[in-house]
Chains A and B, each alone.
Chain A
């Protein structure tokens, strides 16, 4: 028979019954738990990680620099429609009616030397290897190739460009390498701009909210005035005053976007500073600095982080936009915006040159927006389960 245990007997304090076995979950772990259970947020994070690897490590694995140009191999697409050459290699006709020799694996061997040009009959003869010739017939576009006997060579298969995996631009620069460097610059600009904006915003908003009263009113009216003028216009004006280049674009972006951040921080500080725990810190005698750094800013960190992650895509877009209209990163430095800009000239003939950088911009924007969205949900304690 089991011994009857008196459930109402007092147990000693601090004994085994009081032990806490579960590991306490810190706030950060809590946030991560909620964040990682949101597929879109996780997807965004993975895309950002991949883009970072692409931008940081990528350039070490490509043989081309962002400014290595080979005008003889300009405007070659990633996938080429080729004609079989007499000796088993392939020939590719560029939009500029040059013939590029391509080997069986898709490596570009070079441009054929031009031979006799008969512009009346719209025929150009290219000597091929030592003893052969191929004839380019451009009476009807698209141009076709005839062999030495004048027979038309049928168009062959599509072949992947193995020398330039994503093709080349109008100066014969490798688009893949330029994408890597461009992403690198775009992300760098965005991260620096976001960090600077965050610091300025936290200080400005924190001071405004904490001091309150007239100081707050004046500081916020300044913010209101700044935000009535479109930020794009500001950035353009600042850029006009500064030189072209990486630093000036960082300055331009950093000096404008803190407005939203200042508003967010000020609102947070305003609501937090009258909370009892801040009051408690004041009755204890904690210094203003300690109240700001230990109580106010950590509690406002959630909305701050969300604002930053939302700020990064807009900074990236703004950088791309400015480079696109030609006041951003100076050539030959690549940025996603300058690449789009370069591509617009030949949009009809070489659309891939525009689509690739545009795709990367889209990916970055999507990823950061997803992550920002996920962070906002994860940091909202009301959604806590």
Chain B
């Protein structure tokens, strides 16, 4: 499997625990495994606080993983020091959620986009750097005059384009999109998503796409993984998960997607998820979803369900299946 040339990112049993006061830990990411093939997109969905972003940040090594392995393009990067990691950083970049917080207000767009070039010593001189930035700006639909401006002079959509330009200027193979559109206006969301898709086609990019908007995930992803309280509870191809959601949590998530047609919306039985997400400091024993699951049985409270293949290519961790 490790030698499979088509796999770009392989994450095995990734776990990230954050220590908090009183010797307790936040179980942000628990035993998550997935693979992404070159040129494909894996969508990671789940409600707020389920560990999607922590997972992404651990994969890109902003957070040190507690255990597990991260294999990028055949290299195990889990335990590399930040210095050893530097050449591998070129292969993976990240697009951040908040286009306001992710751009330094004291830097011009030119400096922001050129920062990766400078960190990796790619350009020999300023002129070359300017040229590359101008080219990148053009690709994301901004023009060269914008380079001398500060981020606060732009709209949210333009800022996100700057963020994308910064992530893509190194021509990475893997781009982790941490809810890149959730802070944008609906009218801008489609523009940004389409731009990301065009880049994917042109440069054979691989995306790890994190979102809580299921309709958007359906549009961009080849595979979807559903996370709940730090664990991956279901993963399969995109069409399959929307056609046959197996895990009760996935079913709940899908039923909460708004339907634009009011006639259809009225017909839909509302099977939304009751209750709140439990604290990740003391996650429930057994199946973590049993506190909110409508089908919970006795053994759900004690036995941890494993991620099993319920139908070909469709993995789910629920006692109802298998």
**A interface residues (Cβ-Cβ under 8 A, vs B):** 13-14, 18-20, 24, 26-27, 275-277, 279-287, 290, 294-295, 298-299, 381
Q: How far is the CA of A299 from the CA of B93 in the complex (A)?
A: 24
Would you call A286 and B115 a contact (CB within 8 A)?
A: yes
Would you call A287 and B104 a contact (CB within 8 A)?
A: no
Leading 9 A-B pairs by shortest Cβ distance: A276-B102, A285-B89, A276-B101, A298-B106, A277-B104, A286-B119, A284-B116, A285-B119, A283-B94
Please give the distance in Å from A3's CB to the nearest CB on chain B.
28
Please give the distance in Å from A225's CB to the nearest CB on chain B.
23
Q: How far is the CA of A20 from the CA of B105 in the complex (A)?
A: 20
Of B89, B143, B145, B149, the residue contacting A284 (CB under 8 A) is B89
Would you call B115 and A24 a contact (CB within 8 A)?
A: no
Please give the distance in Å from B192's CB to the nearest CB on chain A.
16
> Of all chain B residues, which has the CB nearest A281?
B115
Would you call A26 and B150 a contact (CB within 8 A)?
A: yes
Q: What B residues does A290 contact at CB under 8 A?
A: 118-119
Would you call B141 and A27 a contact (CB within 8 A)?
A: no
Q: What B residues does A294 contact at CB under 8 A?
A: 104, 107, 111, 115
Please give the distance in Å from A13's CB to the nearest CB on chain B.
7
> Of all chain A residues, which has the CB nearest B99?
A276
Please give the distance in Å from A89's CB to the nearest CB on chain B.
68
Q: How far is the CA of A19 from the CA of B115 in the complex (A)?
A: 26
Of A279, A295, A299, A381, the residue contacting B57 (CB under 8 A) is A279
> Of all chain B residues, which has the CB nearest A290?
B119
Q: How far is the CA of A299 from the CA of B99 in the complex (A)?
A: 17
Which of A20, A24, A277, A287 has most chain B Cβ within 10 Å?
A277
Would you call B101 and A284 a contact (CB within 8 A)?
A: no
Would you call A295 and B104 a contact (CB within 8 A)?
A: yes
Would you call B119 and A287 a contact (CB within 8 A)?
A: yes
Would you call B145 and A19 a contact (CB within 8 A)?
A: yes
Q: How far is the CA of A2 from the CA of B97 in the complex (A)?
A: 47
Q: How far is the CA of A46 from the CA of B111 in the complex (A)?
A: 35
Would you call A27 and B104 a contact (CB within 8 A)?
A: no
> Of all chain B residues, which has the CB nearest A301?
B106
Give the contacts of B225-276 with A (CB-CB under 8 A): none
Of A26, A285, A286, A381, the residue contacting B90 (CB under 8 A) is A285
Would you call A299 and B104 a contact (CB within 8 A)?
A: yes
Please give the distance in Å from B33's CB to the nearest CB on chain A.
22
Given the known inter-chain contacts A13-B141, A279-B62, please indicate yes or no for A284 contacting B98, CB distance below 8 A.
no
Q: How far is the CA of A298 from the CA of B62 in the complex (A)?
A: 22
Please give the distance in Å from A376's CB to the nearest CB on chain B.
18
Q: What B residues does A280 contact at CB under 8 A?
A: 94, 96, 102-103, 163, 166
Do most interface residues of chain A lie in helix, strand or loop, or is the interface mixed?
Answer: helix
Q: How far is the CA of A380 from the CA of B226 in the complex (A)?
A: 42
> Of all chain A residues, which has the CB nearest B117?
A284
Q: What B residues does A299 contact at CB under 8 A?
A: 104-106
Given contacts A276-B102, A283-B89, 16 further A-B contacts (CB under 8 A): A20-B146, A24-B148, A24-B150, A277-B102, A277-B104, A280-B94, A280-B102, A281-B115, A281-B119, A282-B62, A284-B115, A284-B119, A285-B85, A285-B116, A294-B111, A299-B105
7 A-B pairs whose Cβ atoms sit less than 8 Å apart in the complex: A20-B146, A24-B149, A275-B101, A280-B163, A294-B104, A295-B104, A299-B104
> Of all chain A residues, which has the CB nearest B88?
A285
Q: What A residues does B120 contact at CB under 8 A?
A: 285
Given the known inter-chain contacts A284-B116, A284-B119, A298-B106, please indicate yes or no for A279 contacting B90, CB distance below 8 A.
no
Q: Is residue B32 within 8 Å, beta carbon to beta carbon, of the partner chain?
A: no
Would you call B106 and A27 a contact (CB within 8 A)?
A: yes
Q: How far is the CA of A298 from the CA of B96 in the complex (A)?
A: 21
Please give the distance in Å from A10's CB to the nearest CB on chain B.
13
Q: How far is the CA of A26 from the CA of B108 in the complex (A)?
A: 9
> Of all chain B residues, which has the CB nearest A295?
B104
Q: Is residue B55 within 8 Å, beta carbon to beta carbon, of the partner chain?
A: no
Q: Is residue B202 within 8 Å, beta carbon to beta carbon, of the partner chain?
A: no
> Of all chain A residues, which has the CB nearest B98?
A276
Given the known inter-chain contacts A20-B145, A277-B101, A284-B166, please indicate yes or no for A27 contacting B93, CB distance below 8 A.
no
Q: Is residue B153 within 8 Å, beta carbon to beta carbon, of the partner chain?
A: yes
Q: What A residues does B107 contact at CB under 8 A?
A: 294
Q: What B residues does A284 contact at CB under 8 A?
A: 89, 93, 115-116, 119, 166
Q: What A residues does B149 contact at CB under 8 A?
A: 20, 24
Q: What A residues does B153 contact at CB under 8 A?
A: 24
* Chain B positions 72 through 84: 1 when the CB is less than 8 Å from some CB of chain A, otherwise 0: 0000000000000
Please give the distance in Å from B304's CB to the nearest CB on chain A.
32
Given the known inter-chain contacts A24-B150, A284-B115, please indicate yes or no for A277 contacting B94, CB distance below 8 A.
no
Q: What B residues does A18 contact at CB under 8 A?
A: 143
Q: What A residues does B60 contact at CB under 8 A?
A: 283
Q: What A residues does B118 contact at CB under 8 A?
A: 286, 290
Please give the distance in Å from B89's CB to the nearest CB on chain A.
4
Please give the distance in Å from A222's CB to the nearest CB on chain B.
22
Please give the distance in Å from B116's CB to the nearest CB on chain A.
5
Q: What A residues does B163 contact at CB under 8 A?
A: 280
Please give the distance in Å from B119's CB to the nearest CB on chain A.
4
Q: How far is the CA of A99 from the CA of B159 in the complex (A)?
A: 81
Give the contacts of B122-181 with A (CB-CB under 8 A): 141, 143, 145-146, 148-150, 153, 163, 166
Given the known inter-chain contacts A24-B148, A282-B62, A283-B60, please indicate yes or no for A277 contacting B116, CB distance below 8 A.
no
Q: Is residue B86 within 8 Å, beta carbon to beta carbon, of the partner chain?
A: yes
Please give the distance in Å from A293's CB to the nearest CB on chain B.
11
Q: What A residues does B104 contact at CB under 8 A?
A: 277, 281, 294-295, 298-299
Please give the distance in Å from B18's CB to the nearest CB on chain A.
12
Please give the distance in Å from A241's CB to the nearest CB on chain B.
42
> Of all chain B residues, which has the CB nearest A288?
B82
> Of all chain A residues, which has the CB nearest B176?
A283
